[in-house]
Amino acid sequence: MTIKLVVDREKIESQAQIADLCPFQAIEFDGADYSISAACKMCRLCEINGPPGAFTFVEETQWSREQGEWSGIAIFAEQSSDGIHPVVLELLGKARELAAQYPQPIFMLLIGNNLESSAEMLTRYGVDELYLFDHPQLEDFRIEPYAAVFETFLHRTRPAVVLVGATPIGRSLAPRLAARFRTGLTADCTELQIQAECGLIQIRPAFGGNIMARIATPQHRPQFATVRYKVMTEAKPVQNGKTKIYSLPIDPSWLLSGIQVLQTTRRGRQEDITDAEVLVVAGRGVVSAKDLSILEELANALEGQLAATRPMVEKGWLDIKRHIGLSGRTVKPKLIITCGVSGAIQFAAGILNSECIVAINNDPEAPIFQVANFGLVGDLYEIVPLLTKTLQSTRRSLS
Amino acid sequence: MTMEIVVCIKQVPDTAKIEVDETTGTLKREGAEVKMNPFDLSAIETALQIREATGGTVWVISMGPTQAAQVLREAFMMGADRGVLLCDPRFAGSDTLATSYTLALGIRTAVKNPQLIICGKQTTDGDTGQVGPEIAEFLQIPHVCNVSRLVEAREHALALMVDLQEMLQKVQVECPCLITVEKDIFPPRLPSFRKREEARHKLIDVLGCSDLETGDPGCFGLQGSPTHVEKMFPPVVDKPREIWTGTGIDLAERLVDRLQRMKLWLPRDH
């Protein structure tokens, strides 16, 4: 609880005066004194409507917690448009790795509407306890109901570690809960390690990736971390896993919200190249506009986007938003494949922070090979379609 | 009642110039230039746009050393009305929790009836984007992150488009509330030179630890920060630099194999 309620007996004239004050009947009278029971939802109606000064909310400033009471790893199983968000299996993969080092239970929280199939899917992946909060009004993400459910789940499971995907929803929800529990949160972790006493070591890039920071939350529980998508290794299904499923009732007060979702539009991947994790770049080696389609096919196979150098944009072959370079956008994808790009410094400056640079060019002397991690010397018209084909057949062979 | 709009802003180092001392693992701060966090410019612009629609007052608030007043002055030059600087040696070493706590108290102390609080999506130095939601929690008000478009601003409610990547939500939120805005929600206006003179004469309220209501010293700065940075270190650079030649199919297969092993591409079903 972040706040607590203080009752001033002197300000209450009669029991009748406060009889109907609390919609949850949380105000108890033992004949001599008033107290607040656990039914209190902190709605503050007693403070607002009660006798002046009788009920006051006071901020609790107890910051340190007994570490021992908190154990286990909790995972927020975010729902996306087509079932469980893939980052959840990655979090689970990491959690199982950590739990193998220091044995502890793995709890999972599933919030939404019609959760049966998602729940069924998760039981195959080695979760110890799965908590479902299933309600039509939890279909859309709204912060107050989701935070209220999450809070209830954490009080019930008391985990030492809470892992949340660094998605837009995760990055909105995790800090809200971390503040509610007055504890630490490390955003966008790229690596997690565990120590004795369930101490979590969180590693994340700082200052735009120029530095890595190693962060601990020594005195507080639970320890919250959000983790980037596509960083950890997905959990594999387990044979005869035993998942206990708890489907918990929803308290109507949790659903109160100042937010109304008027409309939801599902859509595909991000359209901005600066957000893309994979980019395929067209350079002057692409000789006609219609040939861009072979690059586009490669981009699709990689679930990435198409970008271009300045000359391609100037010719009007691609939208200016897709221009990479000093006069265009600077990008930092995980993977960038340049096709027929010579690699002038104006362009190279825009891609240098990419995690992996692949260059395809038929000129072995092209400056792009100075910055590429993998330089493929050859004709893009031959290599690119073969690459697409290899990706597609690799995917098929695994499914 | 006039709309009191608060924008949280931050002075950040010019990230391109940050370097790590390889032996000590600490930041080389000396001579580092500072600027306003670029994401905050959009937050200020959003506040100004809303003020133009509903009337009211735009407050800018920052926590930092005395020189952070500079970003408040910059905000004045864009058109902000009032500035608050939370400045106290006891705030030093704050992590997200302590920062949010301090800002929330600062807002509550300086602004009598804040109706709308706006934060940029994230900062370029911390990069966490979590201060906004934590402030909202401390103030017990709803928050909406990733706001990409302001559909309508009325005095007691906002209609917003929210970019959740996989989907777009159109929401209506009651005030008081906190929103964090995407960088391209509005192109920020340039500082006006006419306003520069005005800005010079505007007063900035400077608040320290003891000025904040219910300020418990244990909740500020390093002491109030649950997370501890144990170490900073340069990322391990073990990137390959290879030039491959061969037949097209050889090159293609070799690359797909490498991408899989480096987890840059995973053959999963969708």
Q: Which of B166, B125, B170 minimizes the C-alpha distance to B144? A: B170
Q: Which of A359, A280, A372 minimizes the C-alpha distance to A324? A: A280
Res. B245 pLDDT band, cuts 50 70 90: very high
- pLDDT, average across residues B238-248: 89
**pLDDT at residue B184 in the model:** 87
Pairing of strands A191-194, A200-206: antiparallel
**pLDDT at residue B24 in the model:** 53
Q: SS3 string of chain A?
A: CCEEEEECHHHCCCHHHHCCCCCCCCEEECCCCEEECCCCCCCCHHHHHCCCCCEEEEECCCCCCCCCCCCCEEEECCEECCEECHHHHHHHHHHHHHHHHCCCCEEEEEEECCCHHHHHHHHHHCCCEEEEEECHHHCCCCHHHHHHHHHHHHHHHCCCEEEEECCHHHHHHHHHHHHHCCCCEEEEECEEEECHHHCEEEEEEEHHHCEEEEEECCCCCCEEEEECCCCCCCCCCCCCCCCEEEECCCCHHHHCCCEEEEEEEECCCCCCCCCCCEEEEECCCCCCHHHHHHHHHHHHHCCCEEEECHHHHHCCCCCHHHEECCCCECCCCCEEEEECCCCCHHHHCCCCCCCEEEEEECCCCCCHHHHCCEEEECCHHHHHHHHHHHHHHHHHHHC
CB within 8 Å: A168 and B224 = no
- pLDDT, average across residues B209-222: 82
Q: What's the gap in Å between the CA of B191 and the closest CA on chain A?
A: 23
Cα–Cα distance for residue pair A23/A40, rounded to 1 Å: 9
pTM of the entire predicted model: 0.75
Cα–Cα distance for residue pair A60/B108, rounded to 1 Å: 17
User: DSSP letter at B23?
Assistant: T
CB within 8 Å: B168 and A213 = no
Find all residues with CB under 8 Å of B78, minimum gap 6, and list them: B41, B44, B45, B48, B188, B189, B190, B191, B192, B195
Q: Which of B187, B228, B182 minimizes the C-alpha distance to A171? A: B182
**Contact of A362 with A317, CB cutoff 8 Å:** no
Cα–Cα distance for residue pair B251/A342, rounded to 1 Å: 19
CB within 8 Å: B131 and A144 = no
Angle between helices B69-78 and B193-201 (to 10 degrees): 130
Q: Which of B226, B260, B270 sits opposite A184 (nearest CB)?
A: B226
**pLDDT at residue A339 in the model:** 97
Q: For chain A, 399 residues long, give each residue's pLDDT as a single digit of tens.
A: 234 677 888 888 888 788 778 776 778 887 778 877 655 655 667 877 788 888 886 654 343 445 558 999 999 999 987 789 989 999 999 999 999 998 999 999 999 999 999 999 999 998 999 999 999 999 999 999 999 999 999 999 999 999 999 999 999 999 999 999 999 999 989 899 998 877 999 998 776 556 788 999 998 999 999 998 777 888 999 988 889 999 999 999 999 999 999 999 987 644 678 778 899 999 999 999 999 999 999 999 999 999 999 899 889 999 888 999 877 777 888 999 999 999 988 788 788 878 899 999 999 999 999 889 999 999 999 999 999 999 999 988 876
Chain B residues touching A395 at Cβ < 8 A: 267-269
**Contact of A300 with A337, CB cutoff 8 Å:** no
Residue with tokens 């000590």: B24
**pLDDT at residue B270 in the model:** 46
What does the angle CA A210 – CA B185 – CA B11 come to, to the nearest 5 degrees? 40
Residues forming a β-bridge with A161: A73, A223
What percentage of chain B reaches a pLDDT higher than 70?
89
**pLDDT at residue B96 in the model:** 93
**pLDDT at residue B18 in the model:** 55
* Residue B101: both structure tokens together: 């706590």
Looking at every residue in chain B, the average pLDDT score rounds to: 88
In chain B, the N- to C-terminal Cα span, in Å, equals 52
Is A64 near chain B, with CB under 8 Å? no
CB within 8 Å: A179 and B95 = no
CB within 8 Å: B268 and A234 = yes
CB within 8 Å: A259 and B144 = yes
Cα-to-chain-centroid distance, residue A12: 47
Closest residue of B to A337, CA-based?
Answer: B255
* Residue A136: both structure tokens together: 């039509």
Cα–Cα distance for residue pair A17/B73, rounded to 1 Å: 52
Cα–Cα distance for residue pair A304/A271, rounded to 1 Å: 10
Report CA-CA distances (Å) from B161 to A71, B166, B170, B178, B246.
39, 13, 5, 14, 50
Cα–Cα distance for residue pair A95/B32, rounded to 1 Å: 39
Cα–Cα distance for residue pair B196/B184, rounded to 1 Å: 25
Length of chain B in residues, anyone?
Answer: 270
Chain A residues touching B248 at Cβ < 8 A: 378-379, 382-383, 386
The torsion angle over the Cα atoms of residues A19, A23, A28 and A33, rounded to 10 degrees, is -60
In this predicted structure, the answer to whether residue B23 has a pLDDT above a threshold of 60 is no
Chain B residues touching A262 at Cβ < 8 A: 159, 170-172
Chain A residues touching B140 at Cβ < 8 A: 3
User: DSSP letter at B192?
Assistant: P
For chains A and B, count residue pairs whose Cβ atoms are closer than 8 Å.
267
CA dihedral for B219, B221, B224, B225, sign (positive or negative) = positive
Res. B125 pLDDT band, cuts 50 70 90: confident
- Single-letter residue type at B132: G
User: DSSP letter at B175?
Assistant: S
In this predicted structure, the answer to whether residue B241 has a pLDDT above a threshold of 80 is yes
Which residue of A2, A84, A140, A143 to mutate against B (max B Cβ within 10 Å)? A143
Higher pLDDT, B92 or A294: A294
In this predicted structure, the answer to whether residue B215 has a pLDDT above a threshold of 70 is no
Query: What are the DSSP E strand ranges found in chain B?
Result: 4-8, 11-13, 19-20, 27-28, 34-36, 57-63, 82-86, 116-120, 143-153, 157-163, 167-174, 177-181, 204-207, 228-233, 242-244
CB within 8 Å: A210 and B260 = no
**pLDDT at residue A64 in the model:** 40
Task: Give chain B's largest Cα–Cα span.
Answer: 74
Is A374 near chain B, with CB under 8 Å? yes
> For residue B189, which phi and psi values (nearest 5 degrees)?
-70, 160
Q: Which of A179, A241, A226, A269 minimizes the C-alpha distance to A78? A: A226
Chain B residues touching A349 at Cβ < 8 A: none
Q: Which of A17-26, A368-377, B47-56, B152-161 has the lowest mean pLDDT?
A: A17-26
**pLDDT at residue B92 in the model:** 86
Chain B residues touching A189 at Cβ < 8 A: none
CB within 8 Å: A171 and B129 = yes
Closest residue of B to A397, CA-based?
Answer: B267
